[in-house]
Amino acid sequence: MSITTTHERRPLVPGRRAASSERSRRLQRVATTTGLRLIVPALILAAWWAGSRAETAGLFVADPFETFTRVRTDFLAAGEGHAFLGDATWDHLFPGVWRALQGLGLAVVVGVGIGIALGRNRILMALFQPLIHLGRSLPSPALVGVFFFVFGTGDSPKVFLIAFSVVWPILFNTIDGVSSIGAARMQAAAVFKINRWDRLVHIVLPGAAPKIFAGMRTAMSLSLIIMIISELQKSQNGLGYLLIQSQRNFDYTGFWAVLVVLAILGVVMNIIFTIIERRVLAWHRGATQQHD
């Protein structure tokens, strides 16, 4: 008897009713969290506005509404052939972001490549471990001068500085991910005579991918920070350059507009990253939810 009852399905109609009340409850929950999430930004905006009205702070804090207007005119104004984007977007935002992406891309290639080599080879790991720990513990902004000295002017010192700064989380996470794949899977690969290349592409890389993505997320946030730092000196464009310029010209509205654009940039890049990650790691989300 007990065996049959355990396999019994719940009756259909109460089940459906349960599902619909579940849906309305979830909707309510989403509405509540969205409402809660809006409170703090609204408070910040109010504080910002109050600050801009205040006697002393008002000298440095631009009016939020003027700031948003500046964001619109500088970054979003529709000129001809500008595809609805303003001069500042083309002259400063895009070149800087392009350098950050180049640096990030370089760091991913180098970090994942070296990480796999080290994660799979104990001797290489022992050889290079001291060097890696040394490299990681160097605060990279201190190296700005070195990179300008070695790579000259133009984009390359900035790109290489970004790559050098953000490679570490990717490298360490890749090493970690590769060693987390497990002996059983590698043994299965050996028994089924999977060649080295297929093992790398179809077992090691996907197996390490969850950790690699975690490292890339950290690296992405870091790349924006280093992007700004690299543009603060010896620069002709970029948001960092724009920050310095507006500060020197006592253009605080412009300065605050850049900050707003930076915040939006961070959010947008995070959203894009999350979309890519969800696609690539769909299996991982499913597999971990299953085992909870």
Partner 1 sequence: MTETLEIVNTKAELVLDGVSKSYGANLAVRSISAEVPAGKVSVIVGPSGCGKSTLLRIISGLDTPTEGSVTFEGSPVTGVPEGLAMVFQDYSRSLFPWMRVAKNVAFPLRHLKPAERAERVQEAIDAVGLAGKEHLYPWEMSGGMQQRVAIARALASHPKLLLMDEPYASVDAQTRADLEDLLLAIQARLGITVLVVTHDIDESVYLADHVIVLSAPPSVVAETIEVDLPRPRDHVTTKTDPRFVEIRGHVTRLLRGAGRPADDGTH
Q: What does the alpha-carbon distance between residue 186 and residue 279 come to, in Å, rounded to a whole number?
A: 25
Site for partner 1 in 224-283 (CB under 8 A): 283
Q: Which is nearer to partner 1, 173 or 235 (CB)?
A: 173
Q: Which is nearer to partner 1, 23 or 185 (CB)?
A: 185
The answer to whether the Cα torsion of 56, 60, 66, 67 is positive or negative is negative
Q: What does the alpha-carbon distance between residue 244 and residue 153 come to, in Å, rounded to a whole number?
A: 18
Residue from the set 58, 105, 135, 206 that interacts with partner 1 by CB under 8 A: 206
Buried b (16+ CB within 10 A) or exposed e, 254-265: bbbbbebbbeeb
Residue from the set 191, 196, 248, 279 that interacts with partner 1 by CB under 8 A: 191
Two structure tokens written together for 200: 């790398």
Q: Which is nearer to partner 1, 56 or 290 (CB)?
A: 290
Name the phi and psi angles at 85, rounded to 5: -115, 140
Rounded least distance, CB 228 to partner 1, Å: 36
Residue from the set 6, 184, 196, 292 that interacts with partner 1 by CB under 8 A: 184
Instruction: Check if the beta carbon of residue 107 is closer than 8 Å to that of residue 219.
Output: yes
Rounded least distance, CB 186 to partner 1, Å: 10
- Cα-atom radius of gyration of the chain, to the nearest Å? 25
Binding part of the chain for partner 1, among 38-46, 72-80, 171-179, 202-210 by CB under 8 A, reads 202-210
Chain length of the chain: 292
Q: What does the alpha-carbon distance between residue 140 and residue 226 come to, in Å, rounded to a whole number?
A: 8
Residue from the set 126, 150, 198, 250 that interacts with partner 1 by CB under 8 A: 198
Rounded least distance, CB 198 to partner 1, Å: 6
Residue from the set 6, 24, 137, 290 that interacts with partner 1 by CB under 8 A: 290
Residue from the set 79, 141, 154, 182 that interacts with partner 1 by CB under 8 A: 182
Q: What does the alpha-carbon distance between residue 289 and residue 292 come to, in Å, rounded to a whole number?
A: 5
Name the phi and psi angles at 238, rounded to 5: 110, 160
Instruction: Print the binding letters for residues 135-174 with partner 1: x by CB under 8 A, - otherwise.
Output: ----------------------------------------
Residue with the two structure tokens 């007990």: 2
Please report whether residue 192 would count as binding partner 1 according to CB under 8 A: yes
Q: What does the alpha-carbon distance between residue 6 and residue 27 come to, in Å, rounded to a whole number?
A: 32
Rounded least distance, CB 170 to partner 1, Å: 20
Q: What residue ranges bind partner 1 (CB under 8 A)?
A: 182, 184-185, 187-188, 190-194, 198, 202-203, 206-207, 209, 283-284, 286-287, 290-291
